[in-house]
Amino acid sequence: MNLLHFLKHRLKLLVGAAFPFIIYACASVSAPDGGPEDKTPPELTSSIPEAGSLHFEGGLVTLNFSEYIDEKSLVKAITVSPKIDPPVGVIYDDDAILLEFPKSLLPHQTYVITINRNLKDERRVPLEQSIQVAFSTGDVIDEGMISGRVHGEESYAVHLWKKSDTFSDSIFFTDPQYVSEANDTGDFEFKYLAPGDYVMLAVERSASGAKLVPERMAYGVSPKAYYSIGVNEAISGIPFRTRRETPPLKLTHGESVGQKWGWMHFNQELDSATVKDLIIIDADEKSIRPIFHHDMSDRKRFLMIADDTLAAGKAALSLGEVKSGDQTLTDGKVSFRVSTKRDTSHTKKVSPEGSESIRLQSDGGPVIPIHFSKPIMAISDSAFIMVADSDTVVVSLDWVNPVTTHFIPPSGWVEKTQYKLKIFSEGLTPIEGKSLKDSITWVTIKSEKKMGYGGLTGQIDWPEIAPVIQLASMEKEPEIFHSAVNSDHQFQFQNIPEGPYRLMIIDDVDQSGAYSYGQANPFMPSEWFYVHPDTFEVRANWDIDIGSIQVGER
């Protein structure tokens, strides 16, 4: 601890001994119990030397904050760029942070102190956004700036490297030279940058400051491999979107639930998958080719049903090939155990758990899926009876696979109507064990007001590209629609469900008709995009013209 810091603490002790009533008064400043919670983020109020100072010679730097800082939050909260060896010492001092710089610094160099959102006040409220403070050892301080936004619902950080020679995607797998943690709206900013070429990568905030590990963290690449700035130049509006890379398709495990059926599990959701040469070898070396069905409630797994009882003990599951989208898995193999106990349990209705509320769709839907805990191998003619108002009819359901059936009234839904589907236990025969525990099980569905549909049109004057317009509903699981732009620079959405939407303009370079994220290794840039700041409300039976969209510079 240096002399200045030592004297400062001694002064605090002397003041505390001489004026105990001051301590009491200070302790009484906090809000009384039951008052509103203080959620105000701490702010950097000043620094000594002042931010932007020239001819910095190292030594003590004091960062003063508007509130007392939580000492534990200092861990991984402060970085200095470029890196200094040995690292800068960090000292906690109530509402201040003291940094000990060495005296041997590079000449004519701008040093940037970054305080990230790990830093919290004593009430555990984090900074609103990363803070940067810079000093120069020379006559000038670099004033270059790069900023943008990471779009999404999570918390993010952006990594920055200054490119030396030619661009190489290996740079993403090194420690970042600069880190900016985005605020709650995703905005990030790098200041005090020297002229040069810079490479960027957006990551989930939990990976802030870490080397890229694509299979373990969500990340996003920029629309350009690198960005060049001149002396005191600023580049703004760089957009990012993050996602997790899809790992190679893998058969993870097999699961025997009964002696004649079970599940085959994969490491990802499968889309229109095809499976070839599925074989089970049981403990008696008997080879069985089960029938299999994709599970619509969990698309990572397949239901397997054997035509014979599997011998108890260790079994082996192998398949020749699985194709899903552009992924292929060959020669998948796993082992699992078949239980020695006979299944005597009751079948359960897994979902819907309670009553469902639906709104009629333009295609006559929605279809209500009903999932059972076991495969149903036989159904009597009167196993399902529908009650709606005063009507009672026997219905035949559409079975997607032996554990899932779809329900929709024979004559379609009627708005503002309550439907009850009776399921009679004696009418269902499961593969093993018993049918439903209750003799009658109910599924209640309430039909609300019919869904309304409308349209949205607009214009974008952008002659150098042929953009695609994306419209995404602001639901928890959004519906996404796309529209091309015609020769008159107009776009049009028709028959869109009513509700609020977010509009995005995409530079559709690969002509896929949707946004492409790109990748880090081998590097492929993302497609440039622009998210309109306003929310658009689609109204039933209305065609709304939002006019011309001004995007500005790319």
Strands 428-430, 376-379: pairing kind:
antiparallel
Give the tens place of pLDDT for each residue, 90-134. Answer: 999 999 999 999 988 999 999 999 998 999 999 999 998 889 999
Mean pLDDT for 61-77 is 93
Give 347 or 31, the one with higher predicted confidence: 347
Among left, alpha and beta (phi > 0; psi -120 to 50; other), residue 196 is left
What contacts 24+ positions apart, CB below 8 Å, involve 28-37? 37/123
What's the 3-state SS for 200-211? EEEEEHHHCCCC
pLDDT digits (tens, 9 = 90+) for 426-462: 999 999 999 999 999 999 999 999 999 999 999 987 7
- Rounded distance, CA 525 to CA 450, Å? 43
* Cβ-contact 254, 315 below 8 angstroms: yes
Whole-angstrom distance, CA of residue 313 vs CA of residue 261: 14
Rg (CA), the chain: 31
Residue range 225-250: mean pLDDT, rounded? 94
Q: What is the pLDDT of residues 474-499, one digit of tens each?
A: 988 889 999 999 888 899 999 999 99
Rounded Cα distance, 469 and 508, in Å: 9
Say if CB 305 and CB 375 are below 8 A apart. Answer: yes
Q: What is the pLDDT of residues 525-543, one digit of tens each?
A: 999 999 999 999 999 999 9
| 183 vs 189: CA distance, rounded Å | 10
pLDDT tops 70 at residue 22: no
pLDDT confidence bin for 87, thresholds 50/70/90:
confident
Strand spans (E) along 425-525: 428-430, 434-436, 440-447, 453-460, 468-473, 480-484, 490-497, 499-506
252-267 pLDDT tens trace: 999 999 999 999 999 9
Across 353-378, average pLDDT:
92
Residue 18 — pLDDT band, cuts 50, 70, 90?
very low
pLDDT in tens, 37-59: 778 999 999 999 999 999 999 99
Of residues 81 and 295, more confidently modeled: 295
Strands 279-281 and 178-181, by their bridges, are unpaired
84-123 burial: b if 16+ Cβ within 10 Å, else e: eeeebeeeebeebbbbbbeeebeeeebbbbbbbbbbbbbe
Banded model confidence at residue 19, pLDDT cuts 50, 70, 90: very low
Q: What is the pLDDT of residue 362?
A: 84
| Side chain identity at residue 456, one-letter code | L
Q: Looking at 11-15, 287-291, 303-307, which range is the least confident one?
A: 11-15
**Which residue in 94, 80, 194 sits closest to 143, CA to CA?**
194
| Contact indicator for 107, 81 with CB cutoff of 8 Å | no
Mean pLDDT for the chain overall: 89
CA-based nearest residue to 534, from 465, 458, 452, 483: 458
Residue among 408, 421, 404, 442 nearest 297 (CA)? 404
Q: In whole angstroms, what is the distance from residue 416 CA to residue 168 CA?
A: 61
Amino acid letter, 255: E
DSSP category for residue 69: B
Of 82-86, 220-224, 523-527, least confident by mean pLDDT is 82-86
Distances (CA, A) of 198 to 194, 226, 302, 510: 10, 5, 47, 25
Which residue from 418, 421, 476, 420 is spatially nearest to 447, judged by alpha carbons?
A: 418
